[in-house]
Structure 1
Amino acid sequence: MSDDHELLLAWRRGDATAGQRLIERHLESVHRFFSNKVTGATDDLVQRTFLACMESVEGFEGRASFRSYLFAIARNVLHRHFRERHRAFDPLTISVSHLANDQRSPADRVTELEEQRLLLRALRALPIELQTLLELAYWEGLSDRELGEVLELPPGTIKSRLRKARQQLEEALPRLARSPDVLLSSRQTLDAWAAGIRERTGIEGGGKRR
């Protein structure tokens, strides 16, 4: 049994092995989704996401990919987490840095390279919905269609949001750079830069990584 939907149905019927296989398959991606957005609650939010996934299996009809279904649940869990703590939370205008009062999180220690720390800080300075969009696109490789399924937006809106998010990210980099040398020292493309962070972010966190 290898299909995600089949594993999900089997888990719902009480097959613990199927549930374990499904979690192991997607744990790293879901953990990475939360790790640059919250401090100290990543493992709990990951657990809530998989529990909600199992409980809402009837809502998954297989028309969307399982990945987009899972990240849609993770996004809802994230928004609920912030709304429980910040009554005025709005994912289109509020950033992680704003919610944390610009405090550093464990993600700041994800790499010794200052350029990559700069990108993480710039991502957290974006509105959470734009941060989510960029991380799912760059780190998880979701297609425009899958991104639309997660964020409940049409493909045209996804494309314009991606352009807006990348523009805001590029504008944030020089503003957050601690020195001109740090900003100029990286000649990599943004895509390659983000890919490098993706590899390192999978190691950060309290749980056992694959």
Structure 2
Amino acid sequence: MVSDDELLAAWRAGDRRAGSTLFGRHYETVRRFFVNKVDTDLEDIIQRTFEACATGQVRFEGRSSFLAYLRGIARHLLLQHWEGRQHRGRDVPIDELSLADLGAGPSSVLARNRADKRLLDALRQIRLADQELLELYYWEGLSGAALAEVLAIPEDTVRSRLRRAKLALKKEYLRLERFAGVPESSDQDLEGWARKLRERLDVVESGG
């Protein structure tokens, strides 16, 4: 099979078929990255992510995997997408705010049940940096080393951030459960739901 690096080089040299192959190979990965983090123009921002690869707006030197490079571009465009939502006079990095802070509209994700919706809503209540980290960890199954590569931070930092992000998600999820008047979940339940959510969402999105 032709590697991602080879396809990217061919696409940049004008081979549209190589670009289509690369798009088809990684479309779902990029879509999952954005699906619970933008409330408008989902397909447009996915398209622009791949276009940035083709035009070389962000240089790819082969020092990291193509997927890490692609996710890095997606992250850059996500922060750019929300730049205009930051309130004037509040000098806070975008990824330190939650989607709720940024005034995001309803999620474009169609959850299969109320527990899934609460989890998706809880993710949108925590810092965008934590939401990104947890979705990459749970939905893409990235290891600490892979997360460090995508986020360009030391692996020890990733692991400490991951612990804090899990606690933040748990706190928000329990708050939403109390608001809904349902019994509290155990840590094990929440971890399990988070890991299974990608599979359930994939079924919903495919019309299953």
TM-score range, shorter chain: 0.7 to 0.9
Highest relative contact order (Cα 8 Å, sep 6+), 1 or 2? 1
Matched, 1:60 2:60: yes
Distance 2:145 2:51 in 1: 25
Q: Aligned AA for 2:106?
A: R
Question: TM-score normalized by structure 1?
Answer: 0.86
CA drift of 1:57 comes to 7.7
* Equivalent residue, structure 1, for 2:77: 77
Q: Aligned AA for 1:2?
A: V
Contact 1:95–1:126 (CA<8 Å) still a contact in 2? yes
- SS of aligned partner of 1:98: coil
Distance 2:58 2:127 in 1: 32
Q: Pick the aligned partner of 1:94 from 93, 97, 118.
A: 97
Question: TM-score normalized by structure 2?
Answer: 0.87
The 5 Å alignment of 1:1-210 reads: 1-56=1-56, 59-86=59-86, 88=90, 90-100=93-103, 103-107=105-109, 109-111=110-112, 113-177=113-177, 178-181=179-182, 183-184=184-185, 189-202=189-202
Distance 1:96 1:61 in 2: 32
Change (3 A) 1:54 1:182: farther
Contact 1:118–1:173 (CA<8 Å) still a contact in 2? yes
- The size of the alignment, in residue pairs, is 203
Residue segments in structure 2 that go unaligned for 5+ positions in a row = none
- SS of aligned partner of 1:181: coil
CA drift of 1:144 comes to 1.6
Residue segments in structure 1 that go unaligned for 5+ positions in a row = none
Identity %: 42
Deviates more, 1:33-42 or 1:84-93: 84-93
